[in-house]
């Protein structure tokens, strides 16, 4: 699992050093160090499922029930088919919980050791694809606990002391989302590096800048690419902020009211790398704000990637012809042999709808829920899993595409004269001659109209023609005309002027540690 620590050299990727101000924590006793064995392993998609022909075993919660649930209810309510990917985090939480229970005298050291050894064995079986996931055991938590009971017997029954599936699942989910954010942050940085690398390869290339999809002013291509780098940096910042807010521990909140047993929630929180336990047990089990914020951050990132995809799909068209994707990131047509399509970026544009839809699903799911836990919240995981998988793929293929395109400089150069892109620079010239901007705007508008009638560019007008519109024009006007001269005149902070863009590039090369 990629770690956020790997990104620590880039300031915006660093989690805040102090805890989120909304959860300041005062301690009246020392915390206890705890070393846990936590392995990063991956769930096998091919792990065997239970044989439906086998008789159902009694539910771990079934003491007060006389009849088992029907097959239809069991199929409808199971979540093991997708929540098994939480297994690593569930085992992490159980290790921390068992160690805390032993420390607090709620189980013996020998029982703790047997539980930890049993969890190690279960984790190994899952990793090797040898674990028998059973739908009649409902979810990842019951599957692991029941398997532990099968494996080590009576001590396993002590593991659920002072714990409910309500606090257990949300602890697992926070841990899973925390790891997912770290992976997304790494992919964001990779795409930023790819875009800056592309910018470095195209120094000095001027392209038309657009507003309303109409030609507006000339800009350096590097400047345009860095606009996406800036957007991605905000995306990273949102995820870092989200990570800090979600990094509080629900474990020990139990079903909703906490427990009368002498547990140490600070100990389990520390062991799992959380900032502190959540203060309110009802909030701890019912809160899904961290998921909503996470999916919201992903949705905004997806919008940015979709805009990048749209731009490059347009630029790869015959009508624009500004870029040529390599064959390695293009596809063809099953019927038209001449076609070469930028399909990866079309799919980036299309898959953004999934990520936005995942957010809407969670917002709708949470809208009418009373406190505290409701079974509806079982439905929070699939949209999150889908959002993370999709956004990781979108980031990866966007970086791949950016490293495999060529800008057609000759085509771009031929396209630049159209649109009178230096008109605003000409207006600035008049302002420097102490002409009010609105008057300057009118004068340049009339000059453009003359060009339209003559089918020429502003720089092609003679001085006499310009002076027929305003006597303010002089020989020095030609230093402001043409896209190259226009670029040279941009000097405000953050503008597309060569010196400004060079400074921006230096900043990003240093920040992203590009060599």
b or e along 222-236 (b: 16 or more beta carbons within 10 Å of the residue's beta carbon)? bbbbbebbebbbebb
Q: Which two tokens stand for residue 32?
A: 């206890």
Q: What is the reported pLDDT for 328?
A: 85
Q: Which of 75-89, 201-215, 487-501 is the least confident region?
A: 75-89
Q: Higher-confidence residue: 29 or 498? A: 498
Pair of tokens at residue 309 = 């995809």
In a domain, 34, yes or no: no
| In a shared domain, residues 372 and 452 | no
369: tokens are 């829920």
Alpha-carbon distance of 26 to 12, in angstroms, equals 28
Find the catalytic residue in 8, 11, 317, 333.
333
The Cα–Cα gap between 156 and 116 comes to 10
Q: How many domains does the chain have?
A: 3
Range of the domain at 94: 76-161
How much is the average pLDDT of 454-478?
95
> Is residue 424 domain-shared with residue 497, that is, in the same domain?
yes
**Residue 11: which pLDDT band, with cuts at 50, 70 and 90?**
very low
Confidence band of 197 (pLDDT split at 50, 70, 90): very high
pLDDT tens digits, 260-284: 999 999 999 999 999 999 999 999 9
The verdict on 300 and 184 lying in the same domain is: yes
Instruction: Identify the pLDDT of residue 188.
Output: 98
Backbone angles phi, psi at 407, to 5 degrees: -90, 130
Q: Residue 462 catalytic? A: no
Look at residue 511 and tell me whether its pLDDT is greater than 60.
yes
Is residue 51 assigned to a domain? Answer: no
Say whether both 268 and 389 belong to one domain: yes
* Range 203-232 average pLDDT: 95
Each residue's pLDDT tens digit, 369-412: 999 988 888 889 999 999 999 999 999 999 999 999 999 999 99
Q: Which pLDDT does position 114 carry in this prediction?
A: 98
- My answer on whether 348 and 255 are in the same domain is yes
Query: For the whole model, what pTM was predicted?
Result: 0.86
CATH of residue 345's domain is: 1.20.200.10
Res. 53 pLDDT band, cuts 50 70 90: low
Residue 55: pLDDT band with limits 50, 70, 90: low
Shared domain for 423 and 391, answered yes or no, is: no
- Catalytic, 24? Answer no
Residue 79 has pLDDT above 60, yes or no: yes
Where do the H-state alpha helices sit in 375-495? 381-402, 409-415, 423-432, 437-454, 463-467, 483-489
Last residue of a domain, one of 114, 137, 161: 161
Residues 131 and 250 in one domain: no
**pLDDT, position 61:** 42
- CB under 8 Å to 211, separation ≥6 — which residues? none
* Same domain (yes/no): 157, 171: no
300 belongs to a structural domain: yes
- Give the pLDDT of residue 82: 85
**Over 80: is that where the pLDDT of 297 sits?**
yes
- Assign 78 a pLDDT band (cuts: 50, 70, 90): confident
Residue 151 has pLDDT above 90, yes or no: yes
Active-site choice (18, 26, 212, 492): 212
Q: Residue 340: its pLDDT value, please?
A: 82
Question: Over 60: is that where the pLDDT of 182 sits?
Answer: yes
- The fraction of the chain above a pLDDT of 70, given in percent, is 87
Domain stops at, among 140, 161, 182: 161
In terms of Cβ atoms closer than 10 Å to its own Cβ (0-12, 13-18, 19+), residue 95 is buried
Gyration radius of the chain's alpha carbons: 30
Query: Measuring CA to CA, which residue among 495, 397, 413, 485 is closest to residue 202?
Result: 413
| pLDDT over threshold 70, residue 488 | yes
**Which 8-state DSSP code applies to residue 42?**
-
- Model pLDDT, residue 9: 40
267 part of a folded domain: yes
CATH value at residue 150: 1.10.275.10
pLDDT (mean) for 61-90: 76
- How many whole angstroms from its chain centre is CA 458? 45
Residue 60 has pLDDT above 80, yes or no: no
Whether 38 contacts 95, CB under 8 Å: yes
Q: Which residue among 116, 136, 161 closes a domain?
A: 161
pLDDT at 7: 42
Mean of the per-residue pLDDT values of the chain: 88
Q: Flag whether 60 is in a domain.
A: no
Residue bearing the bigger pLDDT, 339 or 415? 415
Q: Which of 23-37, 328-342, 433-447, 474-488 has the lowest mean pLDDT?
A: 23-37
Tokens linked to 253 = 């909140």
pLDDT at 330: 78
310 found inside a domain = yes
| CATH number of 436's domain | 1.10.40.30
Same domain, yes or no, for 170 and 299?
yes
- Asked if residue 466 is part of any domain, the answer here is yes
Please report the pLDDT score of residue 138 as a whole number.
Answer: 86
| Residue among 128, 129, 125, 179 nearest 150 (CA) | 125
Half-sphere exposure of 168 (CA within 13 A, CB side): 25
- Shared domain for 181 and 230, answered yes or no, is yes
- 80 with 124, same domain: the answer is yes
Residues 274 and 126 in one domain: no
Q: Is residue 39 part of a domain?
A: no
Q: How many CB atoms lie within 10 A of CB 62?
A: 13
Q: Supply the pLDDT for residue 21.
A: 43
């Amino acid at each position: 699992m990629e770690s956020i620590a790997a990104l620590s050299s880039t300031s915006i990727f660093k989690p805040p050093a102090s805890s989120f101000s909304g959860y300041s924590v005062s301690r009246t006793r020392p915390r206890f160090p705890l070393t846990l064995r936590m392995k990063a392993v991956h769930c096998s998609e091919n792990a065997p499922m239970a044989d439906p022909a086998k008789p159902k075993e009694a539910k771990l919660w079934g003491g007060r029930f006389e009849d088992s649930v029907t097959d239809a209810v069991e199929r409808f309510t199971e979540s093991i088919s997708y929540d098994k990917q939480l297994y690593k985090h569930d085992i992490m939480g159980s290790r921390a919980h068992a160690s805390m229970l032993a420390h607090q005298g709620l189980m013996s050291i020998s029982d703790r050791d047997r539980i930890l050894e049993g969890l190690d064995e279960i984790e190994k079986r899952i990793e090797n694809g040898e674990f028998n996931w059973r739908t009649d055991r409902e979810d990842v938590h019951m599957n692991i606990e029941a398997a532990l009971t099968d494996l080590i017997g009576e001590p396993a029954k002590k593991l659920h002391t002072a714990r409910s599936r309500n606090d257990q699942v949300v602890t697992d989910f926070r841990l899973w989302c925390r790891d997912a954010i770290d992976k997304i942050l790494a992919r964001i940085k990779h795409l930023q590096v790819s875009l800056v690398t592309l910018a470095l390869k195209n120094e000095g290339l001027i392209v038309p800048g657009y507003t309303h999809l109409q030609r507006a002013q000339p800009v350096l291509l590097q400047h345009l690419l860095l606009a996406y780098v800036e957007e991605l940096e905000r995306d990273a910042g949102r995820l870092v902020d989200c990570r800090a807010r979600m990094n509080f521990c629900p474990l020990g909140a139990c079903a909703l009211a906490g427990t009368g047993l002498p547990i140490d929630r600070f100990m389990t929180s520390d062991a799992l790398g959380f900032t502190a336990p959540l203060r309110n047990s009802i909030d701890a089990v019912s809160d899904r704000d961290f998921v909503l914020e996470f999916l919201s951050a992903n949705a905004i990132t997806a919008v940015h990637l979709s805009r990048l995809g749209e731009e490059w799909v347009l630029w790869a068209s015959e009508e624009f012809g500004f870029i040529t994707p390599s064959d390695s990131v293009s596809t063809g047509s099953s019927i038209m042999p001449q076609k070469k399509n930028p399909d990866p970026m079309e799919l980036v544009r299309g898959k953004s709808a999934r990520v936005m839809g995942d957010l809407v699903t969670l917002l709708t799911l949470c809208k009418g829920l009373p406190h505290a836990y409701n079974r509806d919240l079982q439905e929070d995981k699939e949209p999150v899993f889908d959002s993370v998988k999709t956004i990781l793929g979108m980031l990866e293929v966007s970086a791949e595409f950016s490293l495999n395109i060529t800008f057609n400089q000759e085509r771009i150069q031929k396209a630049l004269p159209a649109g009178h892109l230096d008109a605003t620079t000409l207006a600035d010239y008049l302002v420097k001659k102490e002409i009010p901007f609105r008057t300057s705007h009118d004068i340049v508008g009339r000059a453009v109209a003359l060009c339209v009638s003559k089918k020429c560019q502003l720089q092609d007008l003679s001085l006499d023609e310009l002076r027929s519109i305003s006597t303010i024009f002089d020989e020095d006007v030609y230093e402001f005309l043409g896209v190259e001269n226009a670029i040279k005149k941009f000097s405000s902070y953050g503008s597309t002027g060569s010196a400004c863009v060079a400074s921006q590039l230096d900043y990003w090369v240093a920040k992203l540690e590009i060599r």
